Structure formats: C-alpha cells, structure tokens
Structure 1
Amino acid sequence: MKEILLFLLFCHVVSPVKHSLMILITESSGVKNIPDFVYVALLDEVLIGYFDNIREIPEAPPGWAQKELNKDQQGLKWYTQVLLLIQYEYKAEIDILMKQLNQTEGVHILQSMNGCEWDDETGEVNGFIQYGYDGEDFITFDQKTLTWIAQKPEAVITKHTRDRDRPKNEMFNNLLTQRCPEFLKSYLNYGKSSLLRTDLPSVSLLQRNSSSPVSCFATGFYPDRAEIFWRKDGEELHEYVELGEILPNHDGSFQMSVKLDLSSVTPEDWRRYECVFHLSGVKDDIITKLDKAVIKTNYVPPSEFPAGPVIGGVVGLLLLAVCITGVFIWRRRNNGFRPANSSDSSSPETS
C-alpha cells in the first residue's frame, strides 16, 4: 500500500509525446551532516518534489506543483506520514542488507529508482523498479515474470525473499502499469498551461579571447528536449567541437552550449560555419552564422586597458573604506556600538 501512495505525492508530466515520472529514494548509513533519507520526484529529469528526514515536510518548486501540493493541508499531513513510513521501511532494508553482508560500520547507501513512461500517441506504458547498493546495481523487478533479477551474487538472498511475496509483486505490477500512468494523465491536465508550453531560447556566440573556442550558447528554452551543434557547409561537425550538457535555469527553463575550436580555421572560412539549435516539436531551427562582429566577449587587450582611471578608482575605494572604518572606531570609542535608529526606545534592541 505504501508504494501506491508514493506516486500520489508528486505525479506530473512535461514532454509533448512521451511522459515520464521517476521517483528516486536514497537511504544512507554512516554519513554525517546530510539527511539519512531523501526522496526526489523527477518529471523528465526535472525536479518537481522533495522530502528528507530532517525537514520532514514535502516540498515542490514554486508554481502549479507547489499550488497543488499545498491545496489540501490535511492531505499534506497525510503525505508526510506516508513518506515517514516509507523512510522506516528503507531504514529496515539497509539494516538487513548490512547484516547479510557482514557490514558493521562504514558508509553504505541504498538507492531505488522507480516510475513509468507513458506514450500519449501509442498508449504504450513501461514501468521500472531498480535498486542499487553502495553505488552498484543490486536488484531489478521483472514485470513479465513478476520476479526479481539479482544484479550481483550478494543480491540473491534478497531476490528469493522478494520472489516469495507474490501478492506484493502483483501490486507492484499494477502500480507501474495502471496507477502510475493514470496519475500522470490526471496531473497533466492540472499543469498543462506550464507543462506543455514551448519557449524558444536566445542564442549568442561567446568567446573569452581571440584564441579561445567560440561557444554557441542557448538559454531560456523549454522543454529540455533540444539539440545544438555546429555545421560546416551544411554538414554537422563532430571534430573540434565540445558539447555541453543541458542545464536548468532558476526560472524552470534550460540552457546548453557547444564549443567550436577555430585554431585551424582561416578567417576566410568562417562564413562556412554556423550554429544550429533545434527544439523538439518546433519546425524551424535557430541558425546563427559564425561572424566575428556578433561574438560577445569580455576580453580587453592590454593596450586598451584603461589603467589610469581604474587605478584611480581603486585608490578612491580604499580611501573610502579607511574613512568608514575610522568612523566606526570613533563611534565605538565614544558611544559604543549601536544599531540603526538606536535612539528609538521602542526598538527591540533597546527595549
């Protein structure tokens, strides 16, 4: 039952065709200064929900997901209790594993990844439940046989234990094939104005200095299903390029970049190169020609560096700092340290 309730907490969707929900749970032992239990809900690899055993409050990013989570305070308390029960279950699991493996001390980590993918065109559903232990694959659920596959010899005991619990394995299968996609479809309707939007990026050419690679930088796009690459004479380049990862921005959009090494390219050949950005679901690509005139840089040649004004400004700031320090020393010697508006007897500091 607890596993079914797990999907009720944060179930949302984003991609225009295939929607995915992934729940990541981590239980650790012997790790100091971080939560022992961490729950993370991801929607197409984007964070949509979080819980840990220190705060003990389910959280969601600002926006519709947070609104849905906080809509029912009684429900929020119930979700919290569900996650606390799951936390105790994972604590028991890692204790059992440590005993089976004769591990009495040290750092040990149990992780699980479970969820489903649903294609809204074909209706195909794929579910998954996987466990890892100490950074290695440990055991996986097989939906076809409703049994568990040991990924390493140490997992055989756990496999036999789980295989014997047929009712629970049938519940897992129903969870992955029925309940998970049902909740995805329901919450898709709640967040469709945000989840199904398409935002094109701004694309810029950046370069540190004249000998550095030129970076084609795209930021502000949504969703994160995008490609960016350099091409020459209409053909995609694979040499002398360095592709960066897709990274999230603070506003929920994404950014990515690809660098091109021009050390062996003559100035006459620059016009043969262009950067191409493609966003899934959008017909027209954003094409940026390689042009020195549009490259942005913060590099200033030494010959053009305004040494006099800058040095004068630095000296001025230092003198200002000395003056301010002197004023504070004087105030402390004559009046003692007082906060702003200290003459107001009603302030908390002076009452």
Structure 2
Amino acid sequence: MQRMNGCEWNDETGEINGFNLYSYDGEDFLALDLQTLTWITPKPQAVLTKLRWDAQKDRLKLNKTFLGHLCPEFLKEYLQYGRSFLQTAVLPSVSLLQKTPSSAISCHATGFYPDRAVMFWRKDGEEIHEGVDPGEILPNNDGTFQLSVDLKLSSVTPEDWQRYDCVFQFSGVNEYIITKLDKTAIRTNWEKPTDMGTFIGAAVIVLAFTIITAVTFLTYINKKSPDDGSEQSERLNPQS
C-alpha cells in the first residue's frame, strides 16, 4: 500500500490543489475529493472502506483544513526559505597547485555555492586564453562545488610571474576573488630541489667518511699485525 498527500500552489494564479491518495499494488485505491468531502474509488474492494471513512465527518474537516489552508502556508514558507538559501552565495577557498616543477599551475577553487561561477587567468588585468586549460565545475560531497583552471608554464617567463593572477567570480555578481601567481604560495607534494640536494650531499659526506674510516682501520691493522707477531715469537722463544 502507498499513500501520498500534500498540496500544490501556483504562485502565478494563486490556485491551490490538495490531495490525499491511497494506492494498492501500484493501482489507485482511494482518493479524497476536497470539493464534496467524500472518498472516491475505482475498486469494488474499497467500497466498504469508503463508506466508513465518509461517515467520519471530523476527519474529513481536518483533511480540508490541512490540505486547503495549512499545507499551502507551509509550502509558501518553505519556498521562501529555499529562495533565501539559494540567493546566499558561499565563497570558495582558492589555492595554487602544482604536481611537478614542470607541470602546469592549477588555480583551484572549492567549497563555493551555487555552481553559477567562472574562473580565469589574467595578465596585466586582461583575461587570457593562450596557454590556459579551463576545467569543469564538479560537485563536492557536501553540496558545494569545485573548479580548476590550469596555466601552462611554457607561456610564462620567470620575470613575468608578477603580471599574472587568477580570478574567481560568480556569474552576474560584481565581486571577485583574485589570487596572484606567487611561487611561495604554490602548494605541491614534490620535494624541492634544494632539499633533495642537501639530502644527497649529506649522504655523500656520510659515505665518504665511512670509506675513509674503514681504510684507516684496515691500514692500522696491517701495520700492527707484524709487530704483534714478533713480540709473541720473542716471548715464546726467549733464547732466540
């Protein structure tokens, strides 16, 4: 058995339509007619129930009050809450990401709402398209959205980095989030060359020290062994 009750409201004409429906095995079984305040049914098996429910006048009045007045008021109130929520924009967190030192720099915005947003790269305040790979708006698990726009480094000279920035903007809203192209702000998971060089240099020093120590020890043993043998032979043969 399935039941469906509620109301519909046409915000243009003001028309209200309430309904209280029962079905069995996927087919209509009983339905309330709010105009006559009686139950109607296409099934002979439901006639006895219809007659019993038609006699419950207080229940019929409660249905009329709820479906014809209370339900539409709730619906209007919830719709107003929904509009207020949808009209409240949630700004994103914007980061600069890079996989490797030679890969493109990704301007990544996440956590924004609604999904009507654009993001692009600029040079000297002008939007650019050359060397730019725009991404698609993707959903997050919490109902917000994310977007990435990549800038290929081959189109950027080292001395021109300060001339570039990434811009996030909601469509139709004159408000921006501007992120400057700054090497120190780039987030990455690859090791910096200076750190790797320090590690390699330290490893070479440790290895060289180990080799020198081993060679020194072996040289000392080789020089020491003949003298020790002579002393032992003299002690064993005092007459010689």
TM-score computed with the length of structure 1 as normaliser: 0.34
Q: Which has the higher helix share?
A: 2
